[in-house]
Protein backbone atom coordinates (compact mmCIF):
# COMPACT_ATOMS: atom_id res chain seq x y z
CA UNK A 1 0.00 0.00 0.00
CA UNK A 2 1.54 3.34 -1.04
CA UNK A 3 2.14 6.03 1.54
CA UNK A 4 1.70 9.77 1.09
CA UNK A 5 5.43 10.28 1.42
CA UNK A 6 6.00 8.11 -1.68
CA UNK A 7 3.98 10.42 -3.94
CA UNK A 8 5.67 12.34 -6.74
CA UNK A 9 4.67 15.97 -7.15
CA UNK A 10 4.89 17.47 -10.61
CA UNK A 11 4.61 21.22 -10.88
CA UNK A 12 3.59 22.50 -14.30
CA UNK A 13 4.21 26.04 -15.41
CA UNK A 14 1.23 28.00 -16.65
CA UNK A 15 2.27 29.15 -20.15
CA UNK A 16 -1.26 29.91 -21.32
CA UNK A 17 -1.49 33.22 -19.48
CA UNK A 18 1.81 34.34 -21.02
CA UNK A 19 0.47 33.66 -24.51
CA UNK A 20 -2.75 35.56 -23.81
CA UNK A 21 -0.63 38.47 -22.55
CA UNK A 22 1.36 38.65 -25.82
CA UNK A 23 -1.75 38.30 -27.98
CA UNK A 24 -3.44 41.12 -26.06
CA UNK A 25 -0.46 43.44 -26.46
CA UNK A 26 -0.11 42.47 -30.13
CA UNK A 27 -3.72 43.48 -30.82
CA UNK A 28 -3.30 46.64 -28.76
CA UNK A 29 -0.10 47.54 -30.63
CA UNK A 30 -1.84 46.96 -33.97
CA UNK A 31 -4.72 49.23 -32.99
CA UNK A 32 -2.47 51.99 -31.64
CA UNK A 33 0.30 52.01 -34.25
CA UNK A 34 -0.98 50.58 -37.54
CA UNK A 35 -4.70 51.28 -37.58
CA UNK A 36 -4.74 55.12 -37.33
CA UNK A 37 -2.43 55.50 -40.34
CA UNK A 38 -3.52 52.64 -42.59
CA UNK A 39 -7.01 51.75 -41.36
CA UNK A 40 -8.94 52.82 -44.44
CA UNK A 41 -6.48 51.02 -46.72
CA UNK A 42 -6.87 47.90 -44.58
CA UNK A 43 -10.64 48.13 -45.00
CA UNK A 44 -10.36 48.17 -48.79
CA UNK A 45 -7.81 45.32 -48.79
CA UNK A 46 -10.10 43.22 -46.62
CA UNK A 47 -13.05 43.99 -48.89
CA UNK A 48 -11.04 43.02 -51.97
CA UNK A 49 -9.96 39.74 -50.38
CA UNK A 50 -13.50 38.87 -49.28
CA UNK A 51 -14.82 39.81 -52.73
CA UNK A 52 -12.47 37.26 -54.31
CA UNK A 53 -13.56 34.61 -51.80
CA UNK A 54 -17.26 35.23 -52.44
CA UNK A 55 -16.73 35.27 -56.21
CA UNK A 56 -14.94 31.91 -56.02
CA UNK A 57 -17.69 30.40 -53.86
CA UNK A 58 -20.32 31.79 -56.23
CA UNK A 59 -18.57 30.36 -59.28
CA UNK A 60 -18.41 26.92 -57.66
CA UNK A 61 -22.10 27.10 -56.71
CA UNK A 62 -23.13 28.16 -60.22
CA UNK A 63 -21.06 25.36 -61.78
CA UNK A 64 -22.42 22.61 -59.53
CA UNK A 65 -25.93 24.07 -59.76
CA UNK A 66 -25.83 23.96 -63.56
CA UNK A 67 -24.58 20.37 -63.47
CA UNK A 68 -27.37 19.39 -61.08
CA UNK A 69 -29.94 21.18 -63.21
CA UNK A 70 -28.84 19.30 -66.34
CA UNK A 71 -28.69 16.02 -64.38
CA UNK A 72 -32.24 16.63 -63.13
CA UNK A 73 -33.40 17.40 -66.66
CA UNK A 74 -31.97 14.11 -67.95
CA UNK A 75 -33.49 12.27 -65.00
CA UNK A 76 -36.84 13.90 -65.73
CA UNK A 77 -36.77 12.74 -69.36
CA UNK A 78 -35.66 9.23 -68.38
CA UNK A 79 -38.87 8.60 -66.46
CA UNK A 80 -38.17 9.44 -62.77
CA UNK A 81 -40.10 12.69 -62.66
CA UNK A 82 -40.16 13.10 -58.85
CA UNK A 83 -36.42 12.87 -58.27
CA UNK A 84 -35.66 14.80 -61.48
CA UNK A 85 -37.73 17.77 -60.37
CA UNK A 86 -36.10 17.75 -56.92
CA UNK A 87 -32.61 17.76 -58.42
CA UNK A 88 -33.58 20.52 -60.88
CA UNK A 89 -34.93 22.69 -58.05
CA UNK A 90 -31.76 22.10 -56.03
CA UNK A 91 -29.65 23.05 -59.06
CA UNK A 92 -31.70 26.21 -59.61
CA UNK A 93 -31.36 27.25 -55.95
CA UNK A 94 -27.59 26.66 -56.08
CA UNK A 95 -27.33 28.75 -59.26
CA UNK A 96 -29.39 31.54 -57.68
CA UNK A 97 -27.21 31.60 -54.55
CA UNK A 98 -24.07 31.48 -56.67
CA UNK A 99 -25.30 34.40 -58.72
CA UNK A 100 -25.97 36.32 -55.53
CA UNK A 101 -22.43 35.64 -54.30
CA UNK A 102 -20.90 36.68 -57.64
CA UNK A 103 -22.88 39.92 -58.13
CA UNK A 104 -25.68 40.82 -55.68
CA UNK A 105 -26.78 43.79 -57.80
CA UNK A 106 -27.79 41.56 -60.72
CA UNK A 107 -29.85 39.30 -58.48
CA UNK A 108 -31.55 42.38 -57.01
CA UNK A 109 -32.46 43.63 -60.48
CA UNK A 110 -33.83 40.21 -61.42
CA UNK A 111 -35.92 39.76 -58.30
CA UNK A 112 -37.25 43.27 -57.61
CA UNK A 113 -36.94 45.04 -60.95
CA UNK A 114 -35.05 47.92 -59.33
CA UNK A 115 -31.30 48.34 -59.15
CA UNK A 116 -29.67 47.81 -55.76
CA UNK A 117 -28.48 51.14 -54.29
CA UNK A 118 -24.72 51.64 -54.21
CA UNK A 119 -22.68 52.64 -51.16
CA UNK A 120 -23.61 52.66 -47.51
CA UNK A 121 -27.27 52.51 -46.58
Q: Which sequence spans correspond to the domains of the chain?
A: 16-112
pTM of the model: 0.58
pLDDT given for residue 26 in this prediction: 87
Q: Which residues of 108-121 are buried (b: 16+ CB within 10 A; e: fewer)?
A: eeeeeeeeeeeeee
Determine the pLDDT at residue 88: 92
- Residue 1 has a CB neighbour count (10 Å cut-off) of 3
Q: CB-side exposure of 33: number of CA atoms within 13 Å?
A: 6
- Give per-residue pLDDT as tens, 10-53: 666 665 567 788 888 888 888 888 777 777 777 777 788 888 99
Question: Whole-angstrom Cα distance, residue 113 to residue 107?
Answer: 9
Question: Chain-wide mean pLDDT for the chain?
Answer: 80
What is the distance between the terminal CA atoms of the chain, rounded to a whole angstrom?
A: 75
Model pLDDT, residue 121:
53
Amino acid sequence: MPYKSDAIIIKEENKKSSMIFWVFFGILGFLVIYFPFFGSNLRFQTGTMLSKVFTTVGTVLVTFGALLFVWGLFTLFCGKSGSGVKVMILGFVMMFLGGYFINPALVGVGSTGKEVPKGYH
